[in-house]
Amino acid sequence: MATVTFRDETATGKPLTEWEVTGVPERMTVRELIRLRVSEEVARHNARPSNRFNGLVRPDDAERELNGYRLREPRRIDWERQAEIAERAFLANGFFMLAGDRQVEDLDQVVDLTADPGLVFIKLVALVGG
C-alpha cells in the first residue's frame, strides 16, 4: 500500500493546499486518482456541510469565488457527480495534473505512487475577454 499527496498549486507554482491519503494501491490510473481526490474532498465537506466548497471542480448551482465555490445554501454534495464533472474538466483542460515532474494526459494512464507519490493539480482559469 502507498500514500498519495494531493497538492493544488497556481500556474506559477505557488502552493495552495495539500493533504495525504494513506492505504491506497501502489499503482492507480489518473481516473482513479481524480475520483479518490474528489471523494475525499466531498467527504470532508459533507462531514460539516456549509455554503462554501473548496474542491477541484465547481458543484452544480455554485458560484466561483476566491479559492473555492459558494453554494446557494449549505448542503451535502454527491461525490460521484463531482467525479464526473472532474473527469470532464480534465478532458477539456480545465485543470492539469503532474505526477512527479511530468504532466499526465490520459485518464487511463497508470501512475506508480511508489515513484511519484506527489500529485500536483493546477486549475486553469479562463481569462476575461479571452
Mean pLDDT of the chain: 93
Structure letter (DSSP) for residue 76 = -
| pTM, two decimal places | 0.92
Here the cell at position 16 is 495552495
pLDDT of 98 above 80: yes
Across the range 24-31, mean pLDDT stands at: 98
